[in-house]
Amino acid sequence: MLSKNTVKFIKSLHQKKFRNEENQFFVEGEKSVLEVLNSDFLVKLLVVTKPFQDLHFETLQKYKGELIEVTQNLLESLGQYQSNDSAIAVVEMKPNSWFDLPKGELAIALDEVRDPGNLGTIIRIADWYGISHLVFSPQTAEFYNPKVIQASMGSFTRVKFFYEDLSTVFDRWKVPVYGAFLEGENLHTFEKPIPGVILMGNESKGISPELEKKVTQKVTIPGFGQAESLNVAIATAILCDNFKRMITS
pLDDT (tens digit per residue) in 44-87: 999 999 999 999 999 999 999 999 999 999 999 999 998 999 99
Amino acid at 150: Q
Q: What dihedral angle (degrees, nearest 10) is formed by the CA atoms of 24, 25, 31, 33?
A: 30
pTM beyond cutoff 0.85: yes
Has residue 249 got a pLDDT over 90? no
DSSP string, 19-74: HHHHTEEEEESHHHHHHHHTSSS-EEEEEE-HHHHHHTHHHHHT--SEEEE--HHH
The rounded Cα 247 to chain-centroid distance in angstroms is 23
Pick the CATH number of 107-248 from 3.40.1230.10, 3.30.700.30, 3.40.1280.10, 3.40.50.300: 3.40.1280.10
Q: What is the pLDDT confidence band of residue 1, given thresholds at 50, 70 and 90? A: confident
Per-residue CA distances from 20 to 23, 93, 143, 158, 245 (Å): 5, 9, 12, 22, 39
CA distance from start to end of the chain: 56
The DSSP bridge partners found for residue 150 are none
User: Residue 161's closest CA among 41, 13, 7?
Assistant: 41
Q: Who contacts 160 (Cβ-Cβ below 8 Å, separation ≥6)? A: 99, 132, 133, 134
Annotated domain spans of the chain: 4-92, 107-248
Mean pLDDT (whole number) for 98-117: 97
Q: What is the pLDDT of residues 20-48, one digit of tens each?
A: 999 999 999 999 999 999 999 999 999 99
User: What is the pLDDT at residue 92?
Assistant: 98
88-115: b (≥16 Cβ within 10 Å) or e: bbbbeeeeeeeeebeeebbbbbbbbbbb
Has residue 139 got a pLDDT over 90? yes
Phi, psi angles (nearest 5°) of residue 138: -60, -25
CA dist., res. 61 & res. 187, Å (int): 49
Average pLDDT, the chain: 97
User: Taking the CA of residue 239 as centre, how many other CA atoms within 13 Å lie in the half-sphere pointing to its CB?
Assistant: 33
Q: What is the pLDDT confidence band of residue 154, given thresholds at 50, 70 and 90? A: very high
Q: Assign 214 to helix, strand or coil.
A: coil
Q: What is the pLDDT of residues 175-229, one digit of tens each?
A: 999 999 999 999 999 888 999 999 999 999 999 999 999 999 999 999 999 998 8
Q: Please say whether the beta carbons of 150 and 80 come within 8 A.
A: yes
Fold of 4-92: 60s Ribosomal Protein L30; Chain: A; (3.30.1330)
Q: What dihedral angle (degrees, nearest 10) is formed by the CA atoms of 137, 141, 142, 146?
A: -160
